[in-house]
């Protein structure tokens, strides 16, 4: 089992750091899955996470100048690691002017991801900072826990409003209530609602547009037959929504959410080379 | 005591107060004819900081009668200098007035646009706060521009309590996170970095030596050093003996004395039985760019490549605290070697040995003083 990768381009490093920062805001601890072509940050929907799950996928070629991965076995050419993304985020934070960043899986006293940052310095040799991030290798028998979640059989799929706007609204709503209702219909309308004993606040969004999902085997039929005005809604923990919005440092190319009425909200945020899916279950 | 600070020096004073605030909860104001001393010590007596300003630092300086001194709650004093950008932009002049007999400690900031802010602070009379330390007794010394050290320290997390500074055989100086005792080795992130000797203005260290000290207080002094663009000198000796950080220019002197961990930093493998050398990661090869692989491999083996400690270099340019004019009839504040440090840490506390006699060449052999007092003149 071997993993070594190197980033030399500053823009790639910056971009990679931003992705890691986003992940760090969403999960205290998560699974990093390494394959030959991709990296995945996975959070599976355990009770400990409050039922939230996350699936983030990156193409390694878009970030790394060098990338070598040898999995646990020839026919299972992948590595699954459990780590604290905040550590990785911190290691990269002060590397923004680096000449090169190398990441390597090592096992001296215990398995670690060693991040070695080569920084420019006034002296003849570069300054090298190494960060040893402890990781746990996840054995193959547990890999099934980390399969890609399927797109749920949603009632409504709708593009999200500008995330910045959504973020500032949700932040203020958070002061009033612990849960928020997201409702949307197939006419491009979305409402964010909170309600307490003394006050209720609703923000209305219009003309958001609904993404066209190709119907595969008619599995989206519940959406297709739906009354265009009818709202699908789910009541979710407002803090989880806020965490998702706060973590977004760059505007995604596409941002949408799929609502399964009263069950789950599935957020999909797509950038050029990174895709992030985030599932927030509805509260009872 | 009455003094007036003008212009850019107000900001320097502000930075000094911020650095002192990282060390202790009380600020000791000790004026003398030689200048004004601001001091602080941590509750556990494992850290001591002193900023000394010569009369020329002030636009006007009247020390007042001898024995004029006080201690103030750090929070109160810091509150006056809380916002450094404001000090820089709007404060033109600062007046400090201390009249213990009249019960007055006044800080008055004269700001732009005719605004004057006057702060009356509550204070207590106190005895002198003086740590005993001697940079001449330190076997190792490093001097570097503040920026180099600040750039090195920035890679360590803000929450990291202690850091280990080590000198490798090739002259390289390394900094490494120190993991708390009792913390599982596989849990915390460990950061390490190496600086080449040519990044320092002076390197006179014992190869293989290393010490572990608190990062928080050091960071405080480092911010001051960066703001004043002064180089910082680190004097250290064996683990357990205090490390002394100094900087100075013609108008002021700053000292930070920190206790260091008594036990050598232990890796999972016991230190090899070399004569006195500490188990220490060997220096990485010189060719950094390409040799990361072997460097990483080399780091893994904790065999010590440092030579046995050479005899410490005997001659150092002496930097001691300017001797205060001490009244022989005054009682010095006496601290025995108080084991006041938190029990789970092996910091030896401390260097506040009791001073019963006027400073002589050395303490009585029976006293446990960790660093001899250096002031010869009284």
Per the listing, tokens 């103030």 go with B72
Helices (H), A117-210: 163-174
> Of A36, A11, A41, which Cα lies nearest the Cα of A274?
A41
- A89 CB near a chain B CB, below 8 Å? no
- B299 CB near a chain A CB, below 8 Å? yes
Exposed (0-12), middle (13-18) or buried (19+): which is A82, by Cβ within 10 Å? middle
Q: In this complex, do A128 and B284 lie within 8 Å of one another by their Cβ atoms? A: yes
b/e map A38-50, b = 16+ CB within 10 Å: ebbbbbbbeeebe
Within 8 A of B296 by CB-CB distance, chain A residues are: 104, 106, 114, 116, 130
Within 8 A of A121 by CB-CB distance, chain B residues are: 195-196, 199
User: Phi first, then psi: what are they for A222, rounded to 5°?
Assistant: -65, -30
Q: What percent of chain A has pLDDT over 90?
A: 72
At residue B19, the 3 state secondary structure works out as helix
Q: Do B16 and B38 contact (CB within 8 A), yes or no? A: yes
- B153 CB near a chain A CB, below 8 Å? no
Residue B180 pLDDT greater than 50, yes or no: yes
* pLDDT confidence of residue A214: 66
Least confident of A132-136, A170-174, B193-197, B305-309: B305-309
Measure in Å the smallest separation between the Cα of B192 and chain A Cα atoms: 5
Cα gap A119→B229, rounded to integer Å? 22
Q: In this complex, do A127 and B194 lie within 8 Å of one another by their Cβ atoms? A: yes
Q: What is the 3-state secondary structure (H, E, C) of A31-47?
A: EEEECCCEEEEEECCCH
Nearest-by-Cβ selection for A129 from B155, B185, B300: B155
Cα gap B57→B11, rounded to integer Å? 12
pLDDT band at B135, cuts 50/70/90?
A: confident
Q: Do A239 and A259 contact (CB within 8 A), yes or no? A: no
Nearest-by-Cβ selection for A128 from B151, B157, B194: B194
Within 8 A of B196 by CB-CB distance, chain A residues are: 121, 123-125, 127
Cα gap B44→B188, rounded to integer Å? 26
* pLDDT confidence of residue B294: 40
pLDDT one-digit tens code per residue, B168-179? 888 889 999 998
Q: Do B243 and B347 contact (CB within 8 A), yes or no? A: no
- B10 CB near a chain A CB, below 8 Å? no
Cα gap B101→B333, rounded to integer Å? 21
* pLDDT confidence of residue B285: 36
At residue A279, the 3 state secondary structure works out as strand
pLDDT one-digit tens code per residue, B7-33? 889 999 999 999 999 999 999 999 999
Within 8 A of B284 by CB-CB distance, chain A residues are: 128
The whole-number average pLDDT for the span B331-360 is: 37
Cα gap B365→A66, rounded to integer Å? 62
Looking at the DSSP bridge assignments, the partners of residue B95 are: B4, B108
Cα gap B210→A106, rounded to integer Å? 26
> Of B186, B295, B191, which Cα lies nearest the Cα of A131?
B191
* pLDDT confidence of residue B371: 59
Cα gap B143→B152, rounded to integer Å? 14
pLDDT band at A224, cuts 50/70/90?
A: low
Least confident of A10-24, A163-177, A206-220, B333-347: B333-347
* pLDDT confidence of residue B4: 94
pLDDT one-digit tens code per residue, A117-144? 999 877 777 889 999 999 999 999 999 8
pLDDT band at A215, cuts 50/70/90?
A: low
- Considering the entire predicted model, what is its pTM? 0.76
Beta carbon pairs, A and B, within 8 Å: 80
- B154 CB near a chain A CB, below 8 Å? yes
State the sign of the Cα–Cα–Cα–Cα dihedral A62, A68, B191, A109.
Answer: positive
Nearest-by-Cβ selection for B268 from A109, A111, A126: A109
Strand ranges, E, within B59-172:
60-62, 70-73, 91-99, 104-111, 116-120, 123-124, 140-145, 162-167
b/e map A236-274, b = 16+ CB within 10 Å: bbbebbbbbbebbeeebeebbbbbbbeebbbbbbebebb
pLDDT one-digit tens code per residue, A239-268? 999 999 988 877 889 999 999 999 999 999
* pLDDT confidence of residue B315: 27
Element holding B89 (H helix, E strand): helix B84-90
Looking at the DSSP bridge assignments, the partners of residue A41 are: A32, A56
* pLDDT confidence of residue A135: 94
Mean pLDDT of chain B: 74
Tokens matching residue B26 = 């009380």
Least confident of A233-242, A255-264, B130-139, B144-153: B130-139
The residue with greater pLDDT, B346 or B202, is: B202
pLDDT band at A216, cuts 50/70/90?
A: low
* pLDDT confidence of residue B93: 93
- Find the closest chain B residue to A105 by CA distance: B296
Cα gap B316→B339, rounded to integer Å? 31
* pLDDT confidence of residue B284: 39
Q: What percent of chain B has pLDDT over 70?
A: 68
- A130 CB near a chain B CB, below 8 Å? yes
Q: Do B293 and A68 contact (CB within 8 A), yes or no? A: no
Helices (H), chain A: 10-26, 85-93, 163-174, 221-224, 238-246
Q: Which of B 60-99 lie inside 8 A of A, CB atoms?
A: none
* pLDDT confidence of residue B108: 94
Residue B343 pLDDT greater than 90, yes or no: no
Q: In this complex, do B195 and A130 lie within 8 Å of one another by their Cβ atoms? A: no
- B297 CB near a chain A CB, below 8 Å? no
Nearest-by-Cβ selection for B189 from A104, A111, A134: A134
The whole-number average pLDDT for the span A141-148 is: 90
Strand ranges, E, within chain A:
2-7, 30-34, 38-43, 53-59, 66-70, 79-83, 100-107, 111-119, 127-134, 136-137, 156-159, 179-184, 190-195, 200-205, 232-237, 254-260, 264-270, 274-281
Within 8 A of A84 by CB-CB distance, chain B residues are: 189
Cα gap B197→B173, rounded to integer Å? 7
pLDDT one-digit tens code per residue, A61-83? 999 999 999 998 888 899 999 99
At residue B97, the 3 state secondary structure works out as strand
> Of B264, B273, B268, B294, which Cα lies nearest the Cα of B282?
B294
Q: Do A158 and A209 contact (CB within 8 A), yes or no? A: yes
- B198 CB near a chain A CB, below 8 Å? yes
Q: In this complex, do A134 and B187 lie within 8 Å of one another by their Cβ atoms? A: yes
Measure in Å the smallest separation between the Cα of B174 and chain A Cα atoms: 10
ipTM, two decimals = 0.85
Residues in Cβ contact with A233 at an 8 Å cutoff, skipping those fewer than 6 apart = A181, A182, A183, A184, A259, A261, A262
Least confident of A109-113, A215-219, B223-227: A215-219
pLDDT one-digit tens code per residue, B47-72? 999 999 999 999 999 988 888 889 99
Tokens matching residue B47 = 């850290």
* pLDDT confidence of residue B301: 36
Mean pLDDT of chain A: 90
State the sign of the Cα–Cα–Cα–Cα dihedral A19, A23, A26, A32.
Answer: positive
Q: Which domains does chain A have, with CATH numbers?
A: 2-145 (3.70.10.10), 156-216+227-281 (3.70.10.10)
Residue A108 pLDDT greater than 80, yes or no: yes
Q: Which of A86, A100, A102, A130 to mutate to test the interface with B (most CBs of B within 10 A)?
A: A130
Q: In this complex, do B195 and A94 lie within 8 Å of one another by their Cβ atoms? A: no
Cα gap A102→A67, rounded to integer Å? 10
Q: Which of A 98-127 lie inside 8 A of B, CB atoms?
A: 102, 104, 106, 108-111, 114, 116-118, 121-127
pLDDT one-digit tens code per residue, B100-122? 787 789 999 999 999 999 999 98
């Amino acid at each position: 089992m071997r993993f070594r990768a190197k980033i030399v381009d500053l823009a790639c490093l910056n971009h990679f750091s931003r992705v890691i920062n986003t992940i760090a805001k969403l999960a205290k601890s998560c699974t990093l899955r390494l394959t030959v072509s991709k990296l995945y940050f996975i959070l599976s929907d355990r009770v400990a996470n409050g039922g939230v799950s996350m699936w983030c996928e990156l193409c390694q070629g878009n970030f790394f100048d060098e990338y070598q991965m040898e999995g646990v076995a020839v026919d299972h050419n992948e590595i699954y690691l459990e780590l604290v993304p905040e550590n990785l985020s911190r290691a990269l934070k002060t590397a923004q002017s680096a000449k090169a960043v190398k990441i390597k899986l090592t096992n001296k006293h215990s398995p670690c991801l060693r991040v070695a940052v080569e920084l420019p310095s006034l002296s003849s040799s570069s300054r090298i900072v190494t960060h040893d991030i402890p990781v746990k290798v996840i054995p193959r028998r547990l890999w099934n826990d980390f399969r890609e979640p399927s797109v749920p059989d949603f009632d409504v799929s709708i593009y999200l409003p500008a995330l910045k706007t959504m973020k500032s609204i949700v932040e203020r709503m958070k002061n009033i209530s612990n849960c928020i209702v997201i409702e949307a219909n197939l006419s491009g309308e979305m409402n964010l609602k909170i309600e307490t004993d003394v006050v209720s606040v609703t923000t209305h969004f219009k003309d958001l547009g609904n993404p066209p999902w190709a119907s595969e085997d008619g599995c989206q039929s519940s959406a297709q037959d739906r009354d265009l005005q009818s709202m699908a809604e789910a009541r979710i923990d407002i803090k989880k929504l806020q965490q998702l919005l706060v973590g977004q440092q760059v505007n995604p190319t596409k941002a949408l959410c799929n609502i399964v009425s009263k069950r789950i909200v599935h957020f999909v945020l797509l950038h050029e080379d990174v895709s992030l899916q985030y599932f927030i279950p509805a509260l009872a | 005591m009455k003094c007036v600070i003008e212009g850019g020096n107000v900001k320097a004073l502000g930075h000094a107060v911020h650095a002192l605030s990282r060390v202790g909860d009380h600020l000791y104001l000790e004026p003398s004819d030689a200048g004004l001393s601001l001091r602080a010590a941590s509750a556990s007596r494992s850290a001591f900081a002193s900023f000394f300003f010569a009369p020329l630092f002030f636009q006007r300086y009247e020390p007042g009668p001898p024995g004029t001194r006080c201690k103030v709650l750090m929070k109160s004093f810091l509150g006056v200098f809380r916002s450094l950008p404001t000090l820089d932009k709007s404060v033109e002049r600062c007046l400090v007035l201390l009249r213990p007999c009249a019960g007055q400690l006044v800080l008055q900031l004269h700001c732009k646009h005719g605004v004057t802010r006057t702060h009356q602070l509550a204070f207590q009379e106190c005895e002198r706060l003086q740590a005993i330390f001697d940079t001449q007794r330190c076997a190792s010394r490093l001097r570097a521009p503040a920026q180099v050290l600040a750039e090195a320290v920035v890679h360590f997390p803000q929450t990291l309590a202690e850091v280990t500074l080590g000198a490798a055989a090739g002259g390289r100086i390394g900094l490494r996170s120190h993991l708390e005792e009792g913390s599982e080795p596989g849990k915390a992130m460990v950061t390490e970095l190496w600086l080449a000797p040519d990044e320092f203005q002076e390197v006179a260290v014992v190869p293989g030596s290393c010490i572990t000290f608190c990062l928080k207080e050091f960071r405080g002094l480092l911010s001051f050093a960066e703001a004043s663009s002064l180089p910082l000198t680190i004097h250290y000796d064996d683990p357990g003996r205090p490390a002394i950080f100094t900087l100075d220019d013609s108008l002021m002197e700053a000292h930070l004395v920190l206790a260091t961990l008594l036990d050598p930093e232990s890796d999972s493998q016991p230190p090899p039985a070399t004569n006195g050398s500490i188990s220490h990661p060997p220096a990485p090869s010189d060719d950094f760019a390409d040799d990361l692989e072997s460097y990483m491999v080399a780091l893994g083996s904790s065999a010590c490549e440092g030579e046995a400690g050479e005899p410490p270099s005997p001659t150092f340019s002496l930097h001691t605290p300017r001797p205060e004019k001490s009244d022989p009839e005054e009682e010095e504040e006496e601290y025995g070697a108080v084991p006041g440090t938190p029990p789970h840490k092996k910091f030896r506390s401390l260097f506040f040995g009791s001073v019963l006699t006027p400073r002589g060449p050395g303490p009585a052999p029976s006293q446990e003083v960790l660093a001899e007092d250096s002031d010869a003149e009284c």
